Amino acid sequence: MEKIESLNLLHRAFSVFLFNSKYELLLQQRSGTKVTFPLVWTNTCCSHPLYRESELIEENALGVRNAAQRKLLDELGICAEDVPVDEFTPLGRILYKAPSDGKWGEHELDYLLFIVRDVSVNPNPDEVAEYKYVNREQLKELLRKADAGEEGLKLSPWFRLVVDNFLFKWWDHLEKGTLNEVIDMKTIHKLT
């Protein structure tokens, strides 16, 4: 976090929001061994594109979609065939900064990806402590508990920013089949 602040370091990231055919969102609780934000609940998968040709392709956010497919396998054991890169919808980008424990933190340009697929989940315990699907009402209850500090429940800062600014509106469009109406990959939303 010290280097992030003093040098204004920034890196690319992505956040996947995977819904099943009932439009329930797959959430994960990050493993307790994670360096940043251990044991917090977050969206389906969050990580960083690697510096490799397949993940640097900017056109239609293909590099980020390739990275998302790779990390869904790494974190949740979701096979690439179950999440084809062409099925991801890049919806937008956010810029945010968040300290984790004082020593570590994130400063990211985060690409937000939606996908609807029924998948088999086999989580990697080094990455994921728990997972569950939630509908809107269950997510709202999770938010209420996190806000009240109940059950020690915490949410990742990037997930909370997306929830507070976009998620429910985008979820509506997803269910109506009008998700293309809310795609905005030109704007970088600076959120705090």
Per-residue model confidence (pLDDT) at position 49: 83
Q: Which token pair is 7?
A: 């040098």
Give the DSSP letter of residue 24: P
Residue type for position 146 = A
- Torsions phi, psi of 96, nearest 5? -150, 160
Q: 46, 55, 106, 127: which is the annotated catalytic residue?
A: 46
Tokens of 69: 């497919």
**What digits encode the pLDDT tens for the residues 28-64?**
999 999 877 899 999 999 988 878 888 888 899 999 9
Of these residues, 55, 106, 108, 127, which one is catalytic?
A: 108
pTM of the entire predicted model: 0.90
Query: Phi and psi for 111 in degrees, rounded to 5?
Result: -85, 130
Answer yes or no: 46 catalytic: yes
The DSSP element (H or E) to which 14 belongs, if any, is strand 11-19
**Cα angle value 134/121/50 (rounded, 5°):** 100
Model pLDDT for residues 119-177, shown as the tens digit of each residue: 999 999 999 999 999 999 999 999 999 999 999 999 988 899 999 999 999 999 999 99
- Report the Cα–Cα distance between both ends of the chain, in Å, rounded: 16
Judge whether 181 counts as a catalytic residue. Answer: no
How many angstroms separate the CA atoms of 98 and 107, rounded? 6
Could you write out the DSSP letters of every residue in 71-139? HHHHHH---GGGS-GGG-EEEEEEEEEEESSSS-EEEEEEEEEEEE--------TTTEEEEEEE-HHHH
The mean per-residue pLDDT over the stretch 181-187 comes to 96
pLDDT, position 1: 44
pLDDT at residue 100 above 70?
A: no
- Structural contact between residues 11 and 109, judged by C-beta atoms closer than 8 angstroms: yes
Q: Which fold has domain 1-190?
A: Nucleoside Triphosphate Pyrophosphohydrolase (3.90.79)
